[in-house]
Copies of this chain bind each other. A is one copy, B any other.
Amino acid sequence: MPSEAVDDYLKAIYEIAGDDGRASTASLARKLSVAPASVTGMLQKLAVRNPAPVEYEKHHGARLSDHGKQRALEVIRHHRLIELFLHRMLGYSWDEVHDEAERLEHAISEQLEDRIAERLGDPEVDPHGHPIPRKDGTIPPRRDLSLLDLFVGAKTTVSRVSDNDPEILRYLSELGITPGTTLHLTERAPFDGPLMLEVGPDNEKQVLGPRVAGEIRVLPPTANGETTG
């Protein structure tokens, strides 16, 4: 089994990778809080393993092999199942679960993974709305878009929020914005300006900066403002 460090690299590559599936040395170094030189060293080692979890080309970053992707998804499955478990069974708030899960994801067995999943009724999303990869490596489909890409006037529902920053999560909690919350985008200031929203069943008016809005994803609105999915 891969070491914790290796699993962290695979997860990071998966999370950073865009359409071409590549993650740059610098972005990995940032994400993992490690010097760029350390990333280079690790990628070189991983690329010559057998089976190799990553493909690596000098100066062109890393890409996960099928094998590496499988492993990354398994670790992410662990992470999200644990987050949900802590939230549902042990009263953790959604801004507390990430750090705890970050350590536990490396320590649980297949057996514990299975029992947690069973206990939670084979859930499809974690407390932040992120899909939980299935055991077979497929991901429950979820069509959503960034709140930033929403057109003015749209009514929709929060699908998920980024789970990395507890500060932002606490802030969103205060605003009453969690997965499932309804939103009505009433106005958007130009030049990456703030968004005006009506939030939840009471249509509370809130103003959201673009950095925070970028962490929120919503279900695709229909023409008349209703949401699908």
Contact = CB atoms under 8 A, between A and B. Distances in A.
11 contacts: A89-B119, A90-B116, A90-B119, A91-B115, A92-B115, A96-B111, A100-B108, A100-B112, A104-B104, A104-B108, A106-B107
Interface in A79-112: 86, 89-92, 96, 99-100, 103-104, 106-109, 111-112
Specify which of A90, A100, A103, A116 lies most central, judged by the most chain B CB atoms within 10 Å of its CB. A90
A26 to B, nearest CB: 29
Interface of A: 86, 89-92, 96, 99-100, 103-104, 106-109, 111-112, 115-116, 119
Contacts of A103: 107-109
Contacts of A115: 90-92
Nearest to A92: B115
Contacts of A91: 115
Given A104-B108, A106-B107, A107-B107, 17 more contacts: A86-B112, A89-B89, A89-B119, A90-B115, A90-B116, A90-B119, A91-B115, A92-B115, A99-B109, A100-B108, A100-B109, A100-B111, A100-B112, A103-B107, A103-B108, A103-B109, A104-B107
